[in-house]
Amino acid sequence: RVRVRGLTIHRPIIYGNTAVVLSSEERASSPHPDHTHRWTVAVRSAASAPDSDTVGGADDISHFIKRVMFKLHDTYSNPTRTIDKPPFEVTETGWGEFEIQIRLHFIPESAEKLYIIYHHLKLHPWTVTGSGELEIPPPEVAAKAGPVHSWQYDEVVFCDPYQNFLNILMAH
Ligand code: SLL
């Protein structure tokens, strides 16, 4: 196994979440009537639209990411969610914002350690008041405003990659 010394290769990703307010009908039929939102947290290729469900083809990241683990808040019954194929995402309902730990596991050919990202789940279209404080709009206002999006761009960086891993990256 040969490393390609001096080479650094970047792969752009996007991670984050969308969230929508649950309708009163949805809340009435839910096993968790205290839940107010449905949200999806995801890791995607930066080349695909963050809120699109399309995966695969040139936009896919699964040729170098084999597993994504999302560590949710401990209020969830099984907080560690392991996703072994795209789309690398978790959809849940809930009532609160919290920090999600996202662990990227690369394919064995990379010989890379995992990469850990933190994402603050955003449910509310926060607004700034006249006195500069952040405020959560009332649910009716939030529901009218539509889905909340919170996405970040990042790049996974591989330094001195193994030749066979580089071949896999370059073939996509
Ligand atoms: C807060 N620090 O107090 C945060 C915690 C936890 C959110 C938010 C659902 C849990 C469940 C849920 O939304 N937890 O019922 O499964 O705002």
2 domain-assigned: no
Place of tokens 């009218």: 144
Give the pLDDT score at 172.
85
Pocket flag, ligand 1, residue 96 (CB < 6 Å): yes
Per-residue model confidence as pLDDT tens digits over 83-111 = 999 999 999 999 999 999 999 999 999 99
1 domain-assigned: no
Q: Evaluate if pTM is beyond 0.90.
A: yes
Pocket flag, ligand 1, residue 16 (CB < 6 Å): no
49 domain-assigned: yes
Q: Does the pLDDT value for residue 55 go beyond 50?
A: no
% the chain with pLDDT above 70: 93
3 domain-assigned: no
CB within 8 A of 72, min separation 6: which ones?
Answer: 79, 80, 81, 90, 92, 98, 100
Pocket flag, ligand 1, residue 33 (CB < 6 Å): no
The CATH number of the domain where 35 resides is what? Answer: 2.60.40.1970
Complex ipTM value: 0.93
Q: Which domain holds residue 44?
A: 8-170
Q: Does the pLDDT value for residue 79 go beyond 50?
A: yes
- Using CA atoms, how far residue 172 sits from 137, 159, 169, in Å, is 44, 18, 6
21 domain-assigned: yes
Pocket flag, ligand 1, residue 162 (CB < 6 Å): no
Give the pLDDT score at 56.
41
Q: Based on the structure, what is the number of domains in the chain?
A: 1
Per-residue model confidence as pLDDT tens digits over 105-144 = 999 999 999 999 999 999 999 999 999 999 999 988 998 9
Give the pLDDT score at 51.
53
Ligand 1 center–CA 170 separation, angstroms: 41
